[in-house]
A and B are shown apart, each in its own frame.
Chain A
């Protein structure tokens, strides 16, 4: 239950961090941000990285900025930063609503938004947010900078498009329409535990009909993703029980559910139906 030995690197600038990462990436080097997923894995010796690049002291990585179109979240922004809305837009309220479902308070004071994205647990709330809202991931290395769309970023259980020498320096979320509605729901057996299924929805209402629906499901497949069939079932409909149930049914049908020691695939499909319907019901209350 004690982590294996490692060499710790403590860069003070981004350039220094990227340089060290490029040198140690090939020797099982890992980035250490909040450590709330990596350290438990190391305690179990499921991971025994030879090098840790601790980015907590890198200048400027803890910033949240908005240019009026997108919200940019830096690599060391903690979950707790979202306990109160960070931007005057429905996105701010959405992130605050979701944040309180992430693990527990003392985890949220350390764990980071970008770290959650880099770790890519299938049930992670921030991964669901990124997938549902079409986030852009900004990856940097000594080779340069590139942007990765959410749809290309998630590549399976704890697997992403990041190369081993790349640091996820920023995640960019598009701001929502000022009158956008959102809803979120997750199911887990214990408070703060990993979600067995979770759903996030956003949409606007134009002339009494739903438009521009985004419906994302997490915790049910190896990666979170938008459910096109469910969105199609919702768009053009009046918000209400009939449309919500149709969208939930479409999401449940489209899922290729994970099976694990907790659930059968069919039970998880039921959960997806429930969390999508509840997220939609939350969106109007």
Chain B
């Protein structure tokens, strides 16, 4: 029952050949087996949103998906946002608008916001507020995050 399966996870365009038990969550596989520790794990039961990544273009909780289910899919994590030395507009906006303090929830918020805005660039402010209720932040009081995402949304639309 503890047999491992050989799979390949494609994270930010790079293939990672790993062997995992079926019970290995995608979040654990990304961090422990692929060494991509930018994705954080908070609650491990789908409440906090810290582990949010983008799978085949959709933001998902990586703690509520098994790694074996993500084999062959396109996975994007926070490590893939910046291009060389240039931050993604969402990352820059989080810096500019005080969208983070301790930073633990930030990778999840970034992937959530980028994932939704890429799918729905013209999402309304109300709907965006609803989207941002998906993740928990215990530092900022959320206002900085909302400002940052709204600012980044305008910049992302301009592209």
Contacts and interface: CB of A to CB of B under 8 A. Distances in A.
Interface in B109-140: 112, 115-116, 127, 130-131, 133-135
Interface string A27-59: 000000001100110111000001010101000
> Interface on chain A toward B: helix, strand, loop, or mixed SS?
loop
B103 interface: no
B46 interface: yes
A19 interface: no
Contact of A106 (B1, B69, B134): B134
A5 B59 contact: no
B33 interface: no
Interface residues of A, number: 29
B63 A43 contact: yes
A110 B23 contact: no
B65 A43 contact: no
A61 to B, nearest CB: 15
Contacts of B95: none
A109 B60 contact: yes
Given A6-B1, A43-B63, A52-B22, A106 B133 contact: no
Contact of B59 (A2, A7, A106): A106
Given A5-B2, A40-B45, A105 B23 contact: no
A126 B38 CA distance: 35
Interface string A1-22: 1111111100000000000000
A192 interface: yes
Contact of A80 (B23, B58, B66, B69): B58
B68 interface: yes
B154 interface: no
Given A6-B22, A6-B23, A43 B45 contact: yes
Interface string B90-122: 000000000000000000000010011000000
A43 B61 CA distance: 14
A119 interface: no
A107 interface: yes
A104 B134 CA distance: 5
Contacts of B131: 104-105
A105 B116 contact: yes
B64 interface: yes
Contacts of A56: 69
A107 B130 CA distance: 13
B105 to A, nearest CB: 13
B58 to A, nearest CB: 4
B63 A54 contact: no
Chain B CB within 10 Å — which of A8, A80, A104 has the most? Answer: A104
Contacts of A110: 60-61, 64-65
Given A3-B25, A105-B59, 11 more contacts: A3-B23, A5-B23, A35-B65, A36-B61, A39-B25, A43-B63, A52-B22, A106-B60, A106-B112, A107-B134, A110-B61
Interface of B: 1-2, 21-23, 25, 28, 44-46, 49, 52, 58-61, 63-66, 68-69, 112, 115-116, 127, 130-131, 133-135
Q: Enumerate the 9 nearest inter-chain pairs by beta-carbon distance, A residue then B residue, closest first.
A: A104-B134, A191-B133, A40-B45, A8-B22, A109-B58, A1-B44, A3-B23, A106-B59, A39-B64
18 contacts: A5-B1, A5-B22, A8-B22, A36-B61, A39-B25, A39-B65, A39-B66, A43-B45, A50-B1, A80-B58, A104-B135, A105-B112, A106-B52, A106-B60, A107-B64, A109-B58, A110-B60, A191-B130
Interface of A: 1-8, 35-36, 39-40, 42-44, 50, 52, 54, 56, 80, 100, 104-107, 109-110, 191-192
